[in-house]
Amino acid sequence: MKGIAEPIAVGTVVAGTLDLSAAILSAWILKGQSAGDVLRGIAAGPFGDVMRDGGPLAALAGLIIHYGIMAVIAAVFMIAARARPALVRHPVPIGLAYGALTYIVMYWIVLPARWPAIFPITTPSSVLLSLAFQLFFVGLPIALIAARYQMRGLERDSTAS
């Protein structure tokens, strides 16, 4: 697994930042919520709804949890791409498909397991917004980053021989 830490880290930071920024912006526009509200809501996942009323430390916990989840999502794809290089030959459709897969896992399995009374949310606007975030801010950037790193590795290999 030599050399896989950097693309995982870059994928985590890029996708995590895009996804979180979109979530914060949409929560502010649609619900009037602050960035802290969004982050405390994330922290409520593993630590319970008491985190929603927490302060800056609860928001920090949410930030760490968000990037931790994104690290897992990025690592899964990067490891799969190493094992199956075909995944990055066409990174746009594969990235969009991976984004759709992450949407299904998060919004139809993980979130309903934690909050079964609320999830899944099936209003067309909520589905489209959540799906778009996962497609364009998670799956696509991760696949493009994986492809870039894989191509860099191939270039290094060809110049070394």
Query: What does the pLDDT read at residue 83?
Result: 95
pLDDT tens figures, 48-84: 999 999 999 999 999 999 999 999 999 999 999 999 9
Q: What is the mean pLDDT of residues 133-155?
A: 91
Span 120-129, mean pLDDT? Answer: 95
Q: What is the per-residue pLDDT for 3?
A: 87
Q: What pLDDT, on a 0 to 100 scale, did the predictor assign at position 153?
A: 75
Kindly list the domain boundaries of the chain, sorted by start residue: 5-156
Q: pTM here?
A: 0.92
- Stretch 18-44: mean pLDDT, rounded? 97
* Average of per-residue pLDDT across 29-38: 96
Does the pLDDT value for residue 105 go beyond 70?
yes
State the chain's mean pLDDT as an integer. Answer: 94
Nearest 5°: the CA angle 153, 10, 59 is 165
Q: What is the mean pLDDT of residues 40-45?
A: 96
Residues 74, 142 contacting (CB under 8 angstroms) = yes
Query: What are the φ and ψ backbone dihedral angles of 115, each rounded to 5 degrees?
Result: -125, 75
Collect contacts of 78-87 with beta carbons under 8 A, ≥24 apart.
78/4, 78/7, 78/8, 78/11, 78/142, 78/146, 78/149, 79/1, 79/4, 81/143, 81/146, 81/147, 81/150, 82/1, 82/4, 82/150, 85/150, 87/143, 87/146
pLDDT band at 151 (very low <50, low <70, confident <90, very high): confident
